[in-house]
Amino acid sequence: MIPLRDTLRPRSFPFVNITIIAINVLVFVVESVMQTETQAQAFQVYGLIPAKFWQGEGLARWIPLITSMFLHAGWWHLISNMVTLYIFGDNIEDHLGHLWYVVFYLAGGVVAGAAHLLTNASSIIPTVGASGAIAAVLGAYLIMFPRSRILTLVPIFYFLRLVEIPAIIYLGFWFVSQLFNGLFALQAANTVQTGGVAWWAHIGGFVFGLLITLILPKHMRPPRLRQDWPSQSI
């Protein structure tokens, strides 16, 4: 399933979300002009490597928790992440406010990275990508806007159909798929270490987004979560 847009329009221009997307694209452009060896070295320094983190000391070992979320391994990796962030991030920024959205996004990425460190402690493979932070955005979106609808491109037999799927179903299915794959990856890690998707970073980021949204101060909650606002109709 490929999300194309949601049915909610933010009340303010999401310049923070757009800026985050622009930074990711700019960093990837810089990556793409690097020689292969230079890019590999950059991933070793700025990507999140669990074994290196646990063996390291001082402030330097913490830096990749931030830098890794602005690196991407290929065009499709970048595009899929940025499209998802573009669709879901604007409404979260709208309700948290611009400054708190920055804090939330970066914190979500750090928690996602921590989840990856704990579940892949011996891995020597650099992990890069914004998907952990974006997963936090998805978790917040599920709590804030469960009745929103996501216009999605869905393969049905040999055809592609445009279907509007309620956010609670789309994101619920997404999380269950991450959890299933994460559990499978833990089993596989007992026999072989391979690259691929950092499933537990997604799971950790998503749960962080859920929990943070549930404990938001009253003035930062969206209409559906504030008793002094009327119920939101979509």
Question: Per residue of the chain (234 residues), what is the pLDDT tens digit?
Answer: 788 999 888 888 999 999 999 999 999 999 999 988 999 999 999 999 999 999 988 888 999 999 999 999 999 999 999 999 999 999 999 989 999 999 999 999 999 999 999 999 889 999 999 999 999 999 999 999 999 999 998 887 777 889 899 999 999 999 999 998 888 877 765 444 555 688 899 999 999 999 999 888 766 666 555 443 333 333
Look at residue 182 in the predicted model and tell me its pLDDT: 86
Amino acid at 161: R
Q: Which is it for the CA torsion 162, 167, 170, 171, positive or negative?
A: positive
Look at residue 79 in the predicted model and tell me its pLDDT: 95
Look at residue 221 in the predicted model and tell me its pLDDT: 64
Q: How many residues does this entry show for the chain?
A: 234
Look at residue 216 in the predicted model and tell me its pLDDT: 80
Q: Would you give the DSSP letter of residue 223?
A: G
Asked if residues 10 and 31 have their Cβ atoms less than 8 Å apart, the reply is: no
Burial group, residue 83, by CB count within 10 angstroms (0-12, 13-18, 19+): middle
Helix (H, G, I), strand (E, B) or coil at 123: coil
Look at residue 195 in the predicted model and tell me its pLDDT: 55
Look at residue 133 in the predicted model and tell me its pLDDT: 97
Residue 105, CA distances (Å) to 48, 124, 125, 197 in order: 17, 26, 24, 20
Half-sphere exposure for 188 (CA within 13 Å, toward CB): 13
Give backbone dihedrals phi and psi of 152, rounded to 5 degrees, phi first.
-130, 140
Q: What is the CATH number of domain 2-222?
A: 1.20.1540.10
d(CA 193, CA 191): 7
